[in-house]
Amino acid sequence: MKRVFYFIISLCCIAWIGIYVVSPVFAYFYYKNQFMEQTAECSLAMDETWYIEQLESNTLNQTAKVHLLACHEYDKTRKIMLAMRVPESVLGYLGLEAIELHQRSIEPLIEQHRFRER
């Protein structure tokens, strides 16, 4: 009877370690690069969409909406990582790191505001 009890306790410990330690670590390393790329793409898509909306062009608005599909992929990867118990704080840090690594120059943003003729 004691052996059965110890066996059940051992299985519970192994399951707990698998769920709360192995799964998050695996998900972090498996999805890290993909998540960071998708974060940067989504951030870029949101920035570009905002600028396009300021121009009030129907053609460009349709393009912007298609470009925002990058955010859908980002959300799916984020949900998978959360389901595998990667902490929200770790995902937040990865997102900030991705945006820092994939920063764009300010030049393309200000170029559209320069006078071309007077």
Query: What is the pTM (predicted TM-score) of this model?
Result: 0.76
Q: What is the pLDDT of residue 103?
A: 73
CA distance 37 to 77: 11
Residue 85 lies in a domain: yes
CA atoms within 13 A on the CB side of 93: 7
Q: What is the pLDDT of residue 107?
A: 61
Cβ neighbours, 10 Å, residue 102: 14
Residue 6 lies in a domain: no
Q: What is the pLDDT of residue 45?
A: 87
Residue 66 lies in a domain: yes
SS (H, E, C) the chain: CHHHHHHHHHHHHHHHHHHHHHHHHHHHHHHHHHHHHHHHHHHHHHHHHHHHHHHCCHHHHHHHHHHCHHHHHHHHHHHHHHHCCCCHHHHHHHHHHHHHHCCCCCHHHHHCCCCCCC
Domain hosting residue 64, numbered range: 24-111
Structure tokens at 96: 């900030």
Residue 93 lies in a domain: yes
Successive 10-residue mean pLDDT values, the chain, 118 residues: 94 95 96 94 87 80 82 95 96 89 64 59
Residue 88 lies in a domain: yes
Q: What is the pLDDT of residue 86?
A: 96
